[in-house]
Chains A and B, each alone.
Chain A
Amino acid sequence: MVKAGEKNGGGGKKGLKRKAGTLEPQEAAVSEDGTTESGVQPPTAAAFPPGFSISEIKNKQRRHLMFTRWKRQQRKEKLAAKKKLKKEREALGDKAPPKPIPKTIDNQRVYDETTVDPNDEEVAYDEATDEFASYFNRQTCPKILITTSDRPHGRTVRLCEQLSTVIPNSHVYYRRGLALKKIIPQCISRDFTDLIVINEDRKIPNGLILSHLPNGPTAHFKMSSVRLRKEIKRRGKDPTEHTPEIILNNFTTRLGHSIGRMFASLFPHNPQFIGRQVATFHNQRDYIFFRFHRYIFKSEKKVGIQELGPRFTLKLRSLQKGTFDSKYGEYEWVHKPREMDTSRRKFHL
């Protein structure tokens, strides 16, 4: 009741404000709701004396009013501060301190101790003798088998076809309900180097299993944001048979290196620059974005790009040592959400 007296019902808004200004001090001293402590002086007093906060006004309209007024004031103060800062900056000219860089989650990333140092010999030896060594030593050429989970729907089938135009020397086969563990020895005997299985759920592809064949690691990804060629706006004509170049961005940690090498070993060694096609695997915040472009240099520094091909996003779920064996295989890395995703600034790839 005391508070109701503070703003006379109805009336002009401006009038209210002035009256509120005068009434408030008495009121605060009088009313002891327990919410206002007489001894406490809040630091941001502004027009309102101690203890009072806008959220305590029970009337929604008045509360909203007070809030918008406060917000307007804040914005004005902020603009004024910015202007002042800009003026000071101009006044100082060259001596002005450099502009502070805004904090982003990528800037604030927690330093990962597994980040690979290019001069590290142990890691270099490990990579030189791992399962991809035969590809990087140019002893084998990639030959990929692309298949899906059983009974795929149209979207998945079309994604497989488009993927096979993007990845040279790849073959799409229909999965006739065959077990992967039975397919893999057959692939090995037919000299395939990699197996890609696109998993489908409710008519959309949602998973990717990439298995390097002779005895190499198997990576299981979650696939999202799949866009087929016809869904891409302003795209170029279909990709040609030229071998594309590969770009692998931001695979810095040891795990990232393994995955990056896995992607690199899907494509033949020598890209044909005549084709001007490039496949990009860009890792940001543990999501890997796949894009396929055709580029053209308009001048020394200006490039035009056309997006061709399918586009999708991958997130690594597990990396298993050995070929596909989800029950009895040994895992090199498993994503555990409740343990690994506790910090917003920690990434693993």
Chain B
Amino acid sequence: MAAAEARWNHVWVGTDTGILKGVNLQRKQAVNFTAAGQPQREEAVSALCWGAGGETQILVGCADRTVKHFSTEEGRFQGQRHCPGGEGTFRGLAQVDGTLITCVESGILRVWHDNGKEASSDPLLELRVGPGVCRMRQDPSRPHVVATGGKENALKVWDLQGSEEPVFKAKNVRNDWLDLRVPIWDQDIQFLPESQKLVTCTGYHQVRVYDPASPQRRPVLEATYGEYPLTAMTLTPEGNSVIVGNTHGQLAEIDLRQGRLLGCLKGLAGSVRGLQCHPSKPLLASCGLDRVLRVHRIRNPRGLEHKVYLKSQLNCLLLSGRDNWEDEPQEPQQPNEVPSEDTETDELWASLEAAAKRKLPDLEQTQGALQTRRRKKKRPASTNS
């Protein structure tokens, strides 16, 4: 039953204990999915990305260097492949045209052939991007372009169909006022839509915008926020600002046109590990080391919408980009709810029987499974906190 409803989950979160959690915000429920049935710390989820075919498949990158395929339609893991090479966990996962792109911490970026379960152990392409990689991100508009960056590893943009050399390699800013070299620590990278620009957030609490189209290899814009390393970043739906999170759980929205702080979001108590904005709605999902998934509303008014306690430390998340959040989980339930209540209190629902009878013949088969659904249905009526 939980597996059948997995498609209605709004947020998918990967944890440190190897569990993939699907969270349904309407019902405020989280369901655990594990490949082996037991949580295992060796399989800690370090990267998540959508698989092929819209949002029906999720690729889960684990700490033991396996990439598992999870189907949201069926609600179970379908297969996995081992991606050896290099050391460290996955820092980036992407898929394009039936191939899988992985990047590990030691800087080995590999493209694998991803056809079902048969795993040919040789990568199609291998690139060395330099040690200490913190993030590899794929450009959503040009899927064969990826960007990598890390600690003492400058931002590089690679074209996987092109040459072995990076298309764009960022240059470090000038020495500071004491004439000391400014250290580099790119923690997260995002591609700005409708242009070639990239935004990075660093461990030295800077947010930088780079423009490969301009002759300048140094950042075009630099803004700072706070005093703690920024660990995660996401673009807002309008595309003019980014939201960053740091190790103290502070979330801030920074305008990229002027480089100034627009506002902050409260609530998180631990380091922010994953951030994602919905593509059209003003919602932001955040997860971190304080074991709670929070969904904030970014504008009018800015505040917390949902908060779900998930018992393990959360590493990364995927927010479903679909528009109709409210309708779909309830449609299969509403017709099912009434006939199951009929069996309990006939007098009360006698008046409704006439309305329900229309749908009875379709749903009698599924009646047994719906007893528990009825209980869950009551929750959306109550206020969420």
Contact = CB atoms under 8 A, between A and B. Distances in A.
Contacts of A122: 17, 19, 32, 39, 311-312
Nearest to A330: B271
A114 interface: yes
Interface stretch (A35-43, A183-191, A331-339): A331-339
A129 B44 CA distance: 12
Contacts of A331: 247-249, 270-271, 289
B267 interface: yes
Q: Chain B, interface size: which category?
A: 20 to 34
A126 interface: yes
B17 A334 contact: no
B291 A114 contact: yes
Nearest to B185: A328
B313 A123 contact: no
Contacts of A334: 248-249, 269-270
A343 B228 CA distance: 27
A300 interface: no
A340 B313 CA distance: 20
Contacts of A254: 291, 311
Interface string A96-136: 00000000000000000110000010110110010000000
Interface in B235-282: 247-249, 266-267, 269-271
Contacts of B231: 330
A329 interface: yes
Nearest to B385: A113
A111 to B, nearest CB: 11
A321 B309 CA distance: 19
Contacts of A129: 17, 41
Contacts of A336: 249, 269
Interface in A296-349: 321, 327-334, 336, 339-340
Contacts of A120: 311
A339 B267 CA distance: 7
Contacts of B270: 330-334
Nearest to A123: B311
Contacts of B14: none
B267 to A, nearest CB: 7
Contacts of B228: 327-328
Contacts of B271: 321, 330-332
B305 interface: no
Contact of A328 (B32, B203, B249, B267): B203
Interface string B217-230: 00000000001110
Contact of A332 (B19, B32, B290): B290
Given A122-B19, A331-B271, A321 B289 contact: yes
A329 B227 CA distance: 12
A329 B19 contact: no
A126 B38 CA distance: 12
A139 to B, nearest CB: 16
Interface string B32-44: 1000001101000
A327 B271 CA distance: 12
Contacts of A126: 17, 39, 311-313
A329 B228 CA distance: 9
A332 B312 CA distance: 12
Contacts of A328: 203, 228-229, 247
Nearest to B42: A129
A334 B289 CA distance: 11
Given A122-B17, A125-B39, A254-B291, A333 B311 contact: no
A340 B248 CA distance: 14
Contacts of B39: 122, 125-126
A161 B155 CA distance: 51
A129 B231 CA distance: 25
Nearest to A348: B269
A332 B249 CA distance: 9
Contacts of B227: 327
Nearest to A318: B248
Nearest 5 A-B pairs (CB), nearest first?
A: A330-B271, A332-B289, A113-B309, A122-B311, A330-B247
Given A330-B231, A333-B269, 16 more contacts: A122-B17, A122-B312, A123-B311, A125-B17, A129-B17, A321-B289, A327-B228, A328-B229, A328-B247, A330-B289, A331-B247, A331-B248, A331-B289, A332-B271, A336-B249, A340-B269
20 contacts: A114-B291, A114-B292, A122-B312, A125-B38, A126-B17, A126-B39, A126-B311, A321-B271, A327-B228, A328-B228, A329-B247, A330-B270, A331-B247, A332-B271, A332-B289, A333-B270, A333-B290, A334-B248, A336-B249, A336-B269
